């Protein structure tokens, strides 16, 4: 071995500290590695024995859709509307074909609209058209193909009481309660044989209806169905009506004791407001002849052209000119009654024609001996003229004995539903209501 193969003492002493440091570093690294290994094993075991807490990641937001409306104008076709929406001729043709399978587009209403829904990219997803309050047409696009269907709008039908006090007219009172004024007209029709709602109502009168109210899931305004029961307290006299099917299954109105509200005669030959300008009298000063003579009818001061209605069902026995009566219509009714309609500007019925109660038979005027436009209405029974304003006409019918129990159950149910809302106007009412007149 040469001197280069054996380090000198000086070299050994110079490298010894470096070797010691390297050895210590190696020991530390080995120890550290061992510690990390044991820590990982321990925490790995703990992770297996106790699940780690997972944090949810928000799902991506769905693509935004946009809606637009297309107003429908008179003469518009579905193709026109789709063209205005920017759809291609091919897509329009496919949509028209799909709609034709479910709905007649010729019944689209001018003034309504189509609602189109588009995807974020602008593609058509859906078309809606509301047919009526209960149905809508829906067109859907799926993988480029279009399909259509008429679907029902979800709704709930409930019987609800609508009650109040007369303040102003019945129309105004109904509107003040947030209800449609058309309900006022229906009240007037129910009690048309007992009350003239242009002259009889008084401030403070009370009314209550039990009406079918349909509320929709899409928050559109509610709809109204049948009125099931009605009460009207006219200055302390209570009038009541309850809807019940007659012998033929047709809805009809009855008083509390089962008599029909339908009288043999309407309260007036004029459907709308009419002032009585001259009443039945055995001695009245004639405005044209300037002499005293009997006036065997009731004069209604109305503008020329005002519709005149038959007060009862019957057969026309005369329609023509009749001296001082001018244009005259005479109708024969059951039980010996006849009615006369004088001074008409125009006659709308002919001799031998059958007419229904409430049917328009002529227009008011001033033909014959008349000082101005009006209707002279007269009624005669068995040859004797009677005062129509004081006449108590017979009722049309009453519920048969075998169906009376079923009617009473319905009547009591409806009356109970109204009583809680109305403050029991039925209990406060008294006098000769419809049930008294029916006897």
Which CATH number fits the domain that encloses residue 323?
2.70.70.10
In a domain, 212, yes or no: yes
In this structure, of 60-64, 318-322, 329-333, the range with the lowest mean pLDDT score is 60-64
In this structure, of 45-49, 167-171, 241-245, 272-276, the range with the lowest mean pLDDT score is 45-49
pLDDT of residue 135: 94
In a domain, 61, yes or no: no
In this structure, of 27-31, 293-297, 395-399, the range with the lowest mean pLDDT score is 27-31
In a domain, 268, yes or no: no
Return the residue matching tokens 């049917």.
359
CATH of the domain at 178: 3.10.450.350
In this structure, of 138-147, 359-368, 423-432, the range with the lowest mean pLDDT score is 423-432
Dig out the tokens for 421 from the structure.
């809302």
As to burial, measured by CB atoms within 10 angstroms (0-12 exposed, 13-18 middle, 19+ buried), residue 229 is: buried
Smallest Cα–Cα separation from 328: which of 305, 314, 346?
346
The answer on 404 and 380 residing in a single domain is: no
pLDDT of residue 168: 85
In a domain, 93, yes or no: yes
Three-state secondary-structure class, residue 34: helix
pLDDT of residue 121: 82
pLDDT of residue 414: 95
Model confidence at 13, in pLDDT bands (50, 70, 90)? very low
Asked whether the predicted pLDDT for residue 333 surpasses 90, the reply is yes
Asked whether the predicted pLDDT for residue 46 surpasses 50, the reply is no
The answer on 281 and 219 residing in a single domain is: no
Model confidence at 58, in pLDDT bands (50, 70, 90)? low
**DSSP assignment string, 124-190:** EEEEEEEEETTEEEEEEEETTEEEEEEEEPPEEEEEEEEEEE--SSHHHHHHHTTS-THHHHHHHHH
The answer on 245 and 181 residing in a single domain is: yes
Greater confidence, 183 or 290?
Answer: 183
| CA distance linking residue 337 with residue 385, whole number of Å | 10
Model confidence at 48, in pLDDT bands (50, 70, 90)? very low
User: How many domains does the structure of the chain reveal?
Assistant: 3
The answer on 401 and 351 residing in a single domain is: no
The answer on 399 and 314 residing in a single domain is: no
CB 72 within 8 A of CB 82: no
How big is the chain, counted in residues?
Answer: 439
The answer on 285 and 386 residing in a single domain is: yes
Name the pTM for this structure: 0.59
| CA distance linking residue 266 with residue 82, whole number of Å | 53
Smallest Cα–Cα separation from 206: which of 412, 389, 410, 427?
427
CB 184 within 8 A of CB 171: yes
Greater confidence, 426 or 437?
Answer: 426
Model confidence at 429, in pLDDT bands (50, 70, 90)? very low
pLDDT of residue 431: 40
The predicted model gives 336-356 an average pLDDT of: 96
In a domain, 312, yes or no: yes
Model confidence at 47, in pLDDT bands (50, 70, 90)? very low
Model confidence at 300, in pLDDT bands (50, 70, 90)? very high
| CA distance linking residue 225 with residue 90, whole number of Å | 43
Smallest Cα–Cα separation from 129: which of 74, 66, 78?
78
Dig out the tokens for 125 from the structure.
């997803």
pLDDT of residue 435: 35
Q: Average model confidence (pLDDT) for the chain?
A: 82
pLDDT of residue 22: 44
In this structure, of 6-15, 180-189, 372-381, the range with the lowest mean pLDDT score is 6-15
CB 211 within 8 A of CB 159: yes
From residue 288, give the alpha-carbon distance in Å to each of 293, 324, 368, 404: 12, 10, 10, 55
122, 152, 182 — which closes off a domain?
A: 152
The answer on 294 and 196 residing in a single domain is: no
The answer on 161 and 138 residing in a single domain is: no
Tens-place pLDDT, residues 80-102: 999 998 988 999 999 999 999 89
The answer on 161 and 123 residing in a single domain is: no
Dig out the tokens for 385 from the structure.
């003229």
In a domain, 100, yes or no: yes
Asked whether the predicted pLDDT for residue 9 surpasses 80, the reply is no
Asked whether the predicted pLDDT for residue 384 surpasses 50, the reply is yes
Sign of CA pseudo-dihedral 297, 302, 305, 311:
negative
Per DSSP, helices labelled H in 191-316 are: none
Model confidence at 49, in pLDDT bands (50, 70, 90)? very low
Asked whether the predicted pLDDT for residue 193 surpasses 60, the reply is yes
The answer on 121 and 168 residing in a single domain is: no
Tens-place pLDDT, residues 216-272: 988 888 999 999 999 999 999 999 999 999 888 889 999 999 999 988 888 889 987
| CA distance linking residue 426 with residue 421, whole number of Å | 11
In a domain, 16, yes or no: no
In this structure, of 27-36, 196-205, 321-330, the range with the lowest mean pLDDT score is 27-36
Per DSSP, helices labelled H in 333-437 are: 401-422, 425-428, 434-437
The predicted model gives 341-349 an average pLDDT of: 96
The predicted model gives 52-73 an average pLDDT of: 70
The answer on 215 and 160 residing in a single domain is: yes
Domain containing residue 102: 66-152
Return the residue matching tokens 């009650």.
163
| % of the chain with per-residue pLDDT over 70 | 79
pLDDT of residue 251: 92
In this structure, of 21-30, 72-81, 333-342, the range with the lowest mean pLDDT score is 21-30
In a domain, 182, yes or no: yes
The answer on 314 and 407 residing in a single domain is: no
Dig out the tokens for 14 from the structure.
């110079």
């Amino acid at each position: 071995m040469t001197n280069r193969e054996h380090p000198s003492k000086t070299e050994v002493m110079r490298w010894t500290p470096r070797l010691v440091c390297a050895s210590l570093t190696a020991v530390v690294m080995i120890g550290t590695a061992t510690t990390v290994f044991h820590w990982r094993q321990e925490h790995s075991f703990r992770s297996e024995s106790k699940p780690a807490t997972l944090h949810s990641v928000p799902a991506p937001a769905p693509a935004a859709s946009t809606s637009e409306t297309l107003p429908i104008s008179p003469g518009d076709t579905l193709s026109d509307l789709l063209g205005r929406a920017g759809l291609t001729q091919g897509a329009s043709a496919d949509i028209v074909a799909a709609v034709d399978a479910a709905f007649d587009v010729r019944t689209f209403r001018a003034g309504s609209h189509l609602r189109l829904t588009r995807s974020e990219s602008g593609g058509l997803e859906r078309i809606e058209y509301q047919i009526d309050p209960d149905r809508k047409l829906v067109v859907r696009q799926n993988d480029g193909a279009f399909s259509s269907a008429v679907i029902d709008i979800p709704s709930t039908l409930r019987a609800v009481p609508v009650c109040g006090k007369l303040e102003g007219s019945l129309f105004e009172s109904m509107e003040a309660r947030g209800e449609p004024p058309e309900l006022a007209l229906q009240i007037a029709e129910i009690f048309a044989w007992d009350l003239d709602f242009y002259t009889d109502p008084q401030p403070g009168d009370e009314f209550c209806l039990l009406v079918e109210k349909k509320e929709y899931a899409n928050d559109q305004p509610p709809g109204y169905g049948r009125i099931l029961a009605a009460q009207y307290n006219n200055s302390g006299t209570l009038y009541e009506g309850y809807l019940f099917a007659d012998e033929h299954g047709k809805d009809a109105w009855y008083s509390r004791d089962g008599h029909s509200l339908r009288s043999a005669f309407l309260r007036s030959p004029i459907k709308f407001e009419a002032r009585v300008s001259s009443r039945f009298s055995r001695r009245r000063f004639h405005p044209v002849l300037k002499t005293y003579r009997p006036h065997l009818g009731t004069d209604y001061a109305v503008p020329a052209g005002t519709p005149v209605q038959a007060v009862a069902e019957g057969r026309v026995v005369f329609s023509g000119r009749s001296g001082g009566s001018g244009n005259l219509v005479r109708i024969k009714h059951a039980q010996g009654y006849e009615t006369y309609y004088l001074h008409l500007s125009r006659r709308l019925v002919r001799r031998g024609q059958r007419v229904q109660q409430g049917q328009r038979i002529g227009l008011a005027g001033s033909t014959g001996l008349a000082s101005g436009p009006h209707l002279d209405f007269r009624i005669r029974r068995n040859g004797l003229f009677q005062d129509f304003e004081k006449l108590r006409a017979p009722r049309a019918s009453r519920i048969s004995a075998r169906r009376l129990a079923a009617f009473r159950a319905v009547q009591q149910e409806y009356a109970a539903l109204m009583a809680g809302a109305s403050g029991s106007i039925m209990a406060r009412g008294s006098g000769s209501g419809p049930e008294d007149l029916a006897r």
